[in-house]
Structure 1
Amino acid sequence: MKKVDEDLLNQMIKYEKMLADLEDNAAAFPEFRSFFRLLLRTKHPTLSLPVIELISLLKKKKPTVFYYLRQEAKKDFMLSILTGNLMSAEQAEKRFHEFKERLKS
């Protein structure tokens, strides 16, 4: 596995852990915001990052955190684009897992 793939896979695992472990409240918002800002700076030579998928999962699993992210989006153009483009949670989950599998291969 290439280093860039391994690093990105670790970020995806971290996100899953954040979804599982952090509470759905305002106190968790800064950690998710930091995660997305870091992810947006991440580059991969051949794959598109699953940002819309991750935001869609956040909306489903952590609606309060998503609410605060959307409020922040009023002041941040990039976040407004991300929070305005969503997909169904089922489709997001499927595509997220496919993305992780591509990183592992």
Structure 2
Amino acid sequence: MKIRGRIEAETVTDVLCDVCDSSTLHESGGLQYGCLEARWGYGAKHDGERYEVHLCESCFFKTIAYLKQERRIENVFDDHATNSNECLGLIAKNEFFGDE
């Protein structure tokens, strides 16, 4: 026997970029954003703190560009520095449907 009823559910309808405050809701109806997260544990200077920053596509890639520049600066005189700045943080490419 099926029993039908109404259930009210809360859902995320939009995510605003924490830098530029723009909507990450894409024309197709999906949310397109990146997330920078940190959870600091025992022994860390920021023990017990948790961070979550939501970024639109533009701000996300500006942040990645900034981190790449910082990496270049930190390793400018290092003879053994890896030269993998182009792929910093990239773990998949051409993953259009989320399957691995």
User: Shared topology, TM-score over 0.5?
Assistant: no
* Structure that is richer in helix per residue: 1
- Asked which structure has the greater CA Rg, the reply is 2
* Structure that is richer in strand per residue: 2
TM (norm. structure 2) is: 0.27
Task: Report 1 or 2 for greater relative contact order, CA contacts < 8 Å, sequence distance ≥ 6.
Answer: 1
